[in-house]
Structure 1
Amino acid sequence: MAKKLCAAIALGAMLLCLATLSFAQATSESAVKGNLAGTVTDPSNAVIQGAQVTISGPIGEKTATTDAEGRFLFQVLIPGSYSVKIVKDGFKTSDIKSAQVLTGHTSNISVKLELGTSSTVVEVTAAAVGVDTTSTATSSNLTDNFYQAVPVGRGVTGLFYAAPGVASGGGTGTANPSISGGTGLENNYIADGVSITDGAFGGIGVYSRNYGSLSTGINLSFVKEVQVKSGGFEAQYGKSTGGIVQIVTKTGSNQFHGSVGGFFAPQSMEATRLQTDDFGAGGANERFNLQGKILHQSNYDVDTQVGGYVPGMKDHLFFFGAFNPQWNTDHDQFAQYRNPSDLGTAGLAGPTQTFLGNFDVPVRVYSYSGKVTYRLNDNHQFEASIFGDPTYGDQNANGVLGPQTASKTTFDKLQYGTRNFVVRYNGTLSPTWLFNASWSWGHNNLNDTPFSPGVSQILDYTQRTPCDLPGTPNGDCTAPTNKLRGQFTRQGLGYYENTTGENYGLNFDTQKAFNFLGQHTLGFGYRYDINHYDGTKLRTGSTIPVDQGVIDALLDPNTPGNGPIRAALAANGTNAAFQLRARGGDSCIESGSPNAAELYVTGLGAPGGPDACADGGIGVNLRQVRGEFGNLNFKTNSHYNTLFAQDSWSLNKYVTVSAGLRWEQQRLAGVNAHYTFTDNWSPRLGVSIDPWGNRKSKVYANFGRYTEALPLDMGIRSLSSEFDFADTNWVPPTDGAGHVVVDSDGVMDLSTLVGTQTPQANGGFIRSYNGGVAAQSSVAFAPQARSEYLDEFVAGFEHEFGNSGVIFTARYTDRRIKRIIEDLAALSPDAADAGLAQQYLIGNPSNTTDYFTNPIQNGYNAALGGSCPVTTPYDTLSFNGGITDSFGNSVTNTAGNDNMCVTPGPYSNGAFPGDPVADGVADGFVDPIRKYQAMEFEVNKSMSKGWLLRANYRIAKLLGNYEGSFRNDNGQVDPNISSLFDFTRGDWNLLGQQFTPGVLNTDVRHLVNGYVSYTFANHLKGLTVGSSVHFQTGIPINNLYAHPVYANAGEIPFCADETTNCTSARGALGRTKDYGQVDYHMDYPIRVTEGTRIRLGADLFNLANSKTLLRVDQNKQRTVGVLNSDFSKPTGVGPSAASGNANPGYLRPFYARFSVKFEF
């Protein structure tokens, strides 16, 4: 690896030498700066050489002279509005008042000088932005002129959706959209050159395993411009298989300016929401498992900002500062359960509450931003920027499960946010040589404080099946009409993480120009990123001590390697999270068993029921489903090196060729292991043709390869130790007579639990095991495991109509995943169910992958009297009742066999079945597929002559069997280590159509956005009115069964008829409803003095008050063998002002926001 790194550095040094002889447009610095170019002609359209061009912008003036082609170019400009003055003897002076410079974009203007004297000045209205004929990138630049004139939310992430190719990411929240087919955790977010991408998961700002998207890292008040790049990335851009979002904050200027204002969106200005808990209420089709309600949300914020220059340092030292405190609140109603909770011990009076009532969940955000710019002279500029958003939530309800609770012991208090800093230098070493350097630091944190740290989490499953669900009758119901609670959070917050992330970035790039068979612009850059993500994994409740007998039962003292694990369990005990499950037999008092543990639950305990007891109670036990006893602290890091070289070659005024090459290397490390992904080469090639050479049109094509930057979740879960306690059944604490002890709120005190199988007089001991200890120090990497990447092809056409500034764009995009990185194991579900242990590797699954020794499975038909053909099969690897699917149905393979056994090892390669040793036979995986194809059409006009327009339409298909870094089917937040490739296909098809390609979960076929705004110049001078329209078609609805081994819901797609006989089961149940909304904006300035005014504003959202159903429950089962009574019913709570707005059930109804600002 060291040799390869040295070779890459040598290559970089060579390119750096070449760069001293050349000049490049596209560098890393273009992430926060823009360019202004133009052509000057005379009345006959002949080019004018030697015209003096002077631009005046936020921090002073710059001057250039047109070349032999009549062209001029100003580079590395602060985004904003510039005036342009062009002077040439024999012609009138041309004065352009407002030419817009955009981030990462070359704005073009064409100026025709009139004959006359230079003392005569002609004012010209510039074509607002123009066509960038030198670029093949796909990007949308959304400036403050745009977002201040149209209705958008106050959060910066709402702007992302104005760009074509951007759709909801589903479970990743509104802040993390799907861009060009990627999941919401595959984007690269950059603000002022600082990475604000969460290091562990890939979301924006602070992203949590438990809570999803929490903090964006930046507020709209500070934003000068947002650029959304959805394709055609130049070589300096990478670390994304989705989109790249670049945010530029505001800068000071030679004019003092500022404002103080307030924005108000009270709950009284929101119409009544539709709620999933109200669906079919009182009828046979009502929801069984209730979720609670967010009745309304309210948002208030104060916006203060000021910018200008330091007195005595005009044209040299500039500043900008802003502070934007926000108060956001969810007004919740907890789930109104239709029956009281347990009746306490022995049927005596106990807790009877059905819900906690209404409750406000407030969040306070103290966003700030500051920037200092020092312009030493025209050739040297320094800049420093800082921004952050510390956030405080005093009473978060029930963690990730929200208002689905009946106990305040599930509440917690959150503090989170980001802090970011960058310093940069931009230097013009000669008229044809630029050099840029920057250093950045980004910090994020999440501190989670439970209200009841000593209370263990219990999810109550005793009432999880309704009395009258077809196919799953509940024999414990006292009457078919009983309204049980369903599954709910009984107590305790459960699992939570406290984390800290730090990322450091160092960047250098240089660029120079030369002429050789045309004009070349060649550049070279290097960037080094260090990312740290550290934290602690915790669970509420007391640590449970474990005695030696249990340790010996779970971990054989004679097995090599068990020593450290046994010692950790003895020293640490285990934390735990539980399910309360009904269990009859010896859990009833009349059995006389020490395992007796009864509860008295309204509606349960029917005589003769499977879990009912003689006295009307039901027998219960606690099933421990989670628990860790190893090192709960994790420290992970990533070192990322990038080199790029790119040449933009303008053969003439008609043709530009852009060629680039990007090299990337990432070292990923956890507590116990590390791995380096080396030699990731990403070529980029684009061609742009200006058919008439007038910078009004272009036809272009681009090819790019994009490599994923792995988030550090892999370092936490797979490269660090994780010791998981056994899946265990416990007898709950009792009163000694077999009655479970609960307090007046129904809370069980589990602090008396003892990890022993010796019966205790008051319960609280282990009765049995469902599985063993899972202990791993780390997951190994497969030989020559490589980074994930995709290939993209883009072709398009762009044209500006005259000098109107109206630009039409049409393009086709084709993206295809070529290689993924995932954790994987060799076993099929049938082999795993037979008893073989999974052994994992991290590698690149495909149809030809050979990492493991395949188990030799011997099928036979037990129903016809067949038996295992192997005399001594491995362990007892045969199924007692035949192989069954996720719902307990007997299944056969293509040979008609209903059972199988496994031949014991060692095999011919010396390994045992399932070992991570290649055996010359493909393991049985499939090729991962994600194919995104889209046609996009845009009509855009930046603000000029009082109006702007932005409209786009996308028709697209997103097909495959691999969604990406986030799974919307089972909601798994484990980038690159999901459960998707934990098993091979097998012979009995227990994974249904999991690997069969079809429409993926965020596939939106048609997507329309439209924004228009007009500012009155005469009557009602200054009044701005704007409107927006959004429409999109629905997303696929699946028929998802539970995993046959893991038993997790939402894993396995089946056809609508519960078979695998359809072409693809993905989207087998159709799509959700199409939806849209129309919004309105208005603001009006009232002049106070010459330089001050008061601006009144209003934004009205969803004028038609549409409340479209957005999401239905796609889980056919809640676990293996248990039907979901809420299948195909509405699901989801929200949207929310206090969390990430992940997957609300219904479209938010009409709501309004008002503002008043004092501007100077």
Structure 2
Amino acid sequence: MICSNFSKGLLAMAISGLVSTTAVSEDYTTGTLRGTVQDQSGSPVANAEVLITSDKGVRRTTITDSEGSLRIPQLPVGQYKISISQDGYNALTAENVAIQIGKAAAYTFTMESLDNTIEEVYVTGVKQGSWDFNSTTTGITVDVGEIFARTPIARDATSVALLAPGTSSGDSAFSTGVYGGSGNVASFAGSSVGENVYYVNGMNITNFRNFVGGSTIPFELFDQIEVKTGGYQAEFGRSTGGVLNAVTKSGSNDFHFGANMFYEPESFYETSPATYTSANQHDERSKADYNIWASGAIIEDKLFFFGLYNPRDIRSFDCFTGSCEEETQTDPFYAVKLDYVPLEGHRFEYTLFSDDQTRNVKTWRFTDAGNDRIGSASLLGSAPLTELQGERLVDSKYVNGGENQIFKYTAALADWVTISALYGENQYSRENFSDSEPPLLRDRRSSTPGINGSTFDIGSWSVGLLERGEDERKNYRFDADFYFDAMGEHHIRVGMDKEDLSSSTEAHYSGNLRARLEYNDAYTSGMRWRTRQYYNEGAFNTIQTAFYLQDSWQVLDNLILNLGIRNETFDNRNIEGDTYVEIKNQLAPRLGFSWDPFRDGNTRVFGSYGHYYLPIASNTNMRLAGRETYFQEYFEAVDADGDGEPDYDANGFPVFGAVEPRLYFADGTMPFGDATHDADLDPFYQSEYILGFEHTFFDEWTFGMRYIHRNLEGLIEDVAIDAAVIEWANENGYGDDPALETYSGFHQYVLINPGKDVRVALVEDFGNDGIIDWADLSAEQLGYPEGERTYDAIDLTLERIWDGQWYLSANYTWSKSEGNYEGAVKSENGQDDAGLTQDFDQPGLTDGAFGPLPNDRRHRLKVRGAYAINDQLSIGTNLNVEAPRKMGCVGEHPSDYFAWAYGAASWYCGGELTPRGSQIETDWNSTVDLSLMWSPELGDILGNGDLTLRMDVFNIFNSDAVIDRREFGDVGFSTDLPFGGTDLPEPDLDYGKPTRYQTPRHVRLSATYNF
């Protein structure tokens, strides 16, 4: 008989995406079947007819060559039936052959001659399945349904990414809804969270405004997710971190429908300890997430559909410094996937999904026995919250998301050539607004110096900076794959990728005024208002193009070389639509090898080398190439009745007295393009080296070890060039020129590669009668060091495949990430202005900046597993252990005036150097999650459907490790320290205190029905 069950070898390959730590890729959305047909003696069976079919309308045929080899590329992910026939042999049929995203899996098919009588035929999978473009890529490929069925994880792709070796949660300041996640964005191999790229069904959905996160996708929509942590091939770019590449579910000939509910009740949610900024004892939160889906064939074997509707009810209540917020979110998500197969080898796909969402926020101000701020969480105590709530502030709304459409065509034109084309539109709206716009006022007076919370809010405003923006990406891709034999087997892919990006923005302070009340002289006498006004409005475009060539060359039967090159161009344009900075010919080599030394498919040695480039974010266009207006003024605070408090008008605006001269940070004029960047600007890019080893033993276990080295070769940041221009002017005879007076230290910010000489146009005229001057500024004049970031890691992995009863996956990473630059974003102050962070704004800000970076975790241990107690009951667990984050002390610079003017922004505290990572650290963080799943036998009770009841307990031991601390050690300005004085700033009494604990224990209850 022909047995449709798999041997252990085939089973290993069929579900290797669940536990594999090496992703092996074909393209963004499909996989490939590779194989060898042999007879019982091991001799190849040539000219055998091979038919592969699926219930999703796929029907592809091929004929084995003289070596018995077969290849069928560009197969949609899913389960397949394979039929093989040849004269003189019994026909062979294999069911449930799995094709996974990006995987080129190889199988050995053994046929019996008609002269033999056999009981069963086994189809055996061999480890040559990693032999294609991604044979040197590190990461994991996950069948989302399989991993979720056995592992207690949050229902978002970020949580899936965190299963991979070398990934860790980013700073909580960068929480986002990426891919449906409500937690932090992941850091890949030491890079910042603003350097990843996200794909769904072949389209890039990354947030191109600041690179943090991307569009939200309901978890139920995912079919498979590929997590690439390094070594990825030339078709992937615009990332110096990692790649999350997802494929959504599709319909088939069989009709299916289902529904589920996931509920996280407030009564099952513990609270974290209180901090000096958050009264966590008053936290409340609950979440109900529902999904209804259906799929099937509109025309059998031709046209298929999958539809999903995802209503949600998310509620939370949190108390912070000076206020409490109640937030609700109830907007549903929805998605539709259509697949059309007009003829064999051709497929049209259409994907539509919407992630429009509005968060409604109600805010109250604390009164608490006359105190208008928390100052210390103990002030709130455990009193009923209703006794602590004071003034109700204006309600606010936060709108995010949009509609997304993807059109894709794939065709197998012949056995040796396939093509694919994609067009997609990715839309993302962002808006925050209030019911009214009172002025943004704060009181900085305090009789208790050294308390960070001494600045408290005045008035009824709730949103400080009101913003409205639209982002739209138009994505074009074309790929062609060629397969031929010449001096070895070659798989060559050529392709192009173009993205037209458009962004608009409108931004201003609430009430068009941000004002801070303070004493005239330190903490002693007189009152004044420091006011700031900010306006920015306009539309901007960026065009990003790439061309790539990749050759997967099987030199020997046990050696494959991956040889690739990618050429990228980033064209950023100003508010008038003209190019203001363009970086061309960014050549990214991608080279790798994979070697099977024993030719048995059980051992693999692999390595790779590559360059990876990061674009300039569209947020940079808005800040540097628009008509941004930003200025500061000081006014006397009017106190007509002499009660020691300032006067306000009927609309809540301060009454101003005498005014000091206005200081402009940006004057509303569009900068001259050449004045915004170095004329010879080099790209932001990173080099990477990987060397690894894997061995499979007992057919079920795989051990892996790899070394990874990453080095940031070049970065792009904005810097102030004023000090260098002053020196240049003096050296070139312009020392008495009136134009020099505008270079006060903060006048001209320019995109440069720190540590290099710069040629830049100046925004003032030095003796040239209206002609803009060019200045050649040396690295010594500028005073900025080279940007540095290195990552070194050793990953150890151990996998035991699921055999129907249990599985185990464990990985340990030792790593070191250090330098003077975290990356595109800055965790210490939560700044997500990609490429415009504070790090290199002034030379003094780089003093003491070298050290362990925010995403450095020296030790990480991840263990997950599952055990089936019987056919109905199973348990799963997930363990994560992470070493502390090392922190420094951020305060005022004692000797550099320009850095000192930034306030607490330098690696000095109390006038002493306190380098990054040298002072304090967070706690060791360990979390154990547990799941219990019950699938009762229903018979005909619910129409032969499947019901699963489940309980997940996260952080079952309710560990409360500190995962973030206040890193700022100075508060207030010293009066004359940079000029040789001794008036040190007040120490911040909150320095080193916890600001965030790990998520406390909570429970998720769920019920899922599938038919």
Structure 1 counterpart of 2:197, which letter? N
The alignment status of 1:141 with 2:141, answered yes or no, reads yes
The alignment status of 1:227 with 2:226, answered yes or no, reads yes
Give 1:337-416 correspondences, 5 Å limit: 360-395=326-361, 397=363, 407-409=391-393, 411-416=395-400
Q: Structure 1 length as normaliser, TM-score? A: 0.74
Q: 1:816: Cα distance to partner?
A: 0.7
Q: 1:771: Cα distance to partner?
A: 3.7
Name structure 2 gaps, 5 residues minimum.
1-22, 176-182, 366-371, 376-388, 728-740, 975-984
The alignment status of 1:1083 with 2:933, answered yes or no, reads yes
The alignment status of 1:297 with 2:147, answered yes or no, reads no
CA separation of 1:906 and 1:368: change in aligned 2, threshold 3 A: closer
Query: Residues 175-195 of structure 1: CA distance to partner in whole angstroms, max 9, x if unpaired?
Result: 421111211111111111222
The alignment status of 1:244 with 2:243, answered yes or no, reads yes
Q: 1:123: Cα distance to partner?
A: 5.9
Correspondence for 1:536: 506
The alignment status of 1:667 with 2:571, answered yes or no, reads yes
8 Å CA contact 1:655, 1:687 repeated in 2: yes
8 Å CA contact 2:48, 2:84 repeated in 1: yes
The alignment status of 1:620 with 2:527, answered yes or no, reads yes
- SS of structure 1 residue aligned to 2:406: strand
**Distance in 2, Cα, partners of 1:407 & 1:119:** 87
CA separation of 1:1147 and 1:175: change in aligned 2, threshold 3 A: closer
- SS of structure 2 residue aligned to 1:1110: strand
Q: 1:1129: Cα distance to partner?
A: 3.7
**Distance in 2, Cα, partners of 1:367 & 1:192:** 18
Greater mean deviation of Cα atoms: 72-81 or 188-197: 72-81
Query: Residues 117-148 of structure 1: CA distance to partner in whole angstroms, max 9, x if unpaired?
Result: 69967364765987503321113112121122
Instruction: Select the residue among 696, 707, 718 that pairs with 1:823.
Output: 718
- SS of structure 1 residue aligned to 2:342: strand
**Distance in 2, Cα, partners of 1:290 & 1:1149:** 15
Structure 2 counterpart of 1:1105, which letter? N
8 Å CA contact 2:74, 2:418 repeated in 1: no
**Distance in 1, Cα, partners of 2:688 & 2:634:** 49
CA separation of 1:628 and 1:486: change in aligned 2, threshold 3 A: closer
- SS of structure 2 residue aligned to 1:489: strand
8 Å CA contact 1:817, 1:929 repeated in 2: yes
Structure 1 counterpart of 2:303, which letter? L
Structure 1 counterpart of 2:406, which letter? V
CA separation of 1:364 and 1:513: change in aligned 2, threshold 3 A: same
Structure 2 counterpart of 1:70, which letter? G
8 Å CA contact 1:849, 1:925 repeated in 2: no
The alignment status of 1:422 with 2:422, answered yes or no, reads no
Correspondence for 1:729: 635
Instruction: Select the residue among 53, 66, 81 that pairs with 1:68.
Output: 66
Query: Residues 557-611 of structure 1: CA distance to partner in whole angstroms, max 9, x if unpaired?
Result: xxxxxxxxxxxxxxxxxx32011213479xxxxxxxxxxxxxxxxxxxxxxx823
Structure 2 counterpart of 1:456, which letter? P
CA separation of 1:944 and 1:627: change in aligned 2, threshold 3 A: same
8 Å CA contact 2:678, 2:760 repeated in 1: no
Correspondence for 1:795: 691
Correspondence for 2:656: 764
**Distance in 2, Cα, partners of 1:248 & 1:748:** 58
**Distance in 2, Cα, partners of 1:912 & 1:110:** 74
CA separation of 1:81 and 1:505: change in aligned 2, threshold 3 A: same
**Distance in 2, Cα, partners of 1:88 & 1:1068:** 71
Greater mean deviation of Cα atoms: 230-239 or 1078-1087: 1078-1087
Give 1:296-695 correspondences, 5 Å limit: 296-310=284-298, 313-333=299-319, 335=321, 360-395=326-361, 397=363, 407-409=391-393, 411-453=395-437, 455-463=438-446, 466=448, 486-491=454-459, 492=461, 493-541=463-511, 575-583=512-520, 610-611=524-525, 619-624=526-531, 626-628=532-534, 632-672=536-576, 674-695=580-601
The alignment status of 1:195 with 2:204, answered yes or no, reads yes
Q: 1:712: Cα distance to partner?
A: 0.4
Greater mean deviation of Cα atoms: 171-180 or 926-935: 171-180
CA separation of 1:451 and 1:49: change in aligned 2, threshold 3 A: same
Instruction: Select the residue among 658, 670, 677 that pairs with 1:777.
Output: 670
Structure 2 counterpart of 1:768, which letter? E
- SS of structure 2 residue aligned to 1:647: strand
**Distance in 1, Cα, partners of 2:1002 & 2:640:** 53
- SS of structure 2 residue aligned to 1:30: coil
Give 1:5-24 correspondences, 5 Å limit: none
8 Å CA contact 1:821, 1:842 repeated in 2: no
**Distance in 1, Cα, partners of 2:404 & 2:528:** 49
CA separation of 1:442 and 1:398: change in aligned 2, threshold 3 A: farther
CA RMSD of aligned residues (A): 3.5
Q: 1:54: Cα distance to partner?
A: 3.5
- SS of structure 1 residue aligned to 2:136: coil
The alignment status of 1:151 with 2:152, answered yes or no, reads yes
Correspondence for 1:1029: 879
Query: Residues 1021-1077 of structure 1: CA distance to partner in whole angstroms, max 9, x if unpaired?
Result: 24332111111101111111135536445522248x9644x8xx2211142111111
Structure 2 counterpart of 1:466, which letter? T
**Distance in 2, Cα, partners of 1:403 & 1:413:** 24
CA separation of 1:657 and 1:1076: change in aligned 2, threshold 3 A: same
8 Å CA contact 1:131, 1:798 repeated in 2: no
**Distance in 2, Cα, partners of 1:819 & 1:787:** 6
CA separation of 1:750 and 1:518: change in aligned 2, threshold 3 A: same
Name the count of aligned residue pairs.
919
Correspondence for 1:1125: 988
8 Å CA contact 2:89, 2:113 repeated in 1: yes
**Distance in 2, Cα, partners of 1:853 & 1:668:** 18
Give 1:805-844 correspondences, 5 Å limit: 806-827=701-722, 836-840=744-748, 842-844=750-752
8 Å CA contact 2:839, 2:845 repeated in 1: no
Structure 1 counterpart of 2:986, which letter? L
Q: 1:442: Cα distance to partner?
A: 0.4
Greater mean deviation of Cα atoms: 826-835 or 943-952: 826-835
8 Å CA contact 2:466, 2:508 repeated in 1: yes
8 Å CA contact 2:356, 2:402 repeated in 1: yes
Structure 1 counterpart of 2:313, which letter? W
- SS of structure 1 residue aligned to 2:312: strand
8 Å CA contact 1:814, 1:933 repeated in 2: yes
8 Å CA contact 2:932, 2:950 repeated in 1: yes
Give 1:638-1037 correspondences, 5 Å limit: 638-672=542-576, 674-732=580-638, 740=645, 763-769=655-661, 771-772=663-664, 774-775=666-667, 776-778=669-671, 779-804=675-700, 806-827=701-722, 836-840=744-748, 842-851=750-759, 916-918=775-777, 923-941=782-800, 943-984=802-843, 990-991=844-845, 993-995=847-849, 997-1015=850-868, 1020-1037=870-887
Structure with bigger RCO (C-alpha 8 Å, 6+ apart): 1
8 Å CA contact 1:296, 1:332 repeated in 2: yes
Structure 2 counterpart of 1:928, which letter? G
8 Å CA contact 1:930, 1:960 repeated in 2: yes
**Distance in 2, Cα, partners of 1:664 & 1:1110:** 38
Q: 1:114: Cα distance to partner?
A: 5.4
8 Å CA contact 1:1041, 1:1054 repeated in 2: yes
Q: 1:163: Cα distance to partner?
A: 1.1
Query: Residues 766-803 of structure 1: CA distance to partner in whole angstroms, max 9, x if unpaired?
Result: 43347456425225221121321111111111233354
Give 1:29-68 correspondences, 5 Å limit: 30-59=27-56, 60-68=58-66
Structure 2 counterpart of 1:578, which letter? A
Query: Residues 706-757 of structure 1: CA distance to partner in whole angstroms, max 9, x if unpaired?
Result: 111221011010011222223323425x556566467xxxx9756666xxxx
8 Å CA contact 1:970, 1:1049 repeated in 2: no
Q: Structure 2 length as normaliser, TM-score? A: 0.84
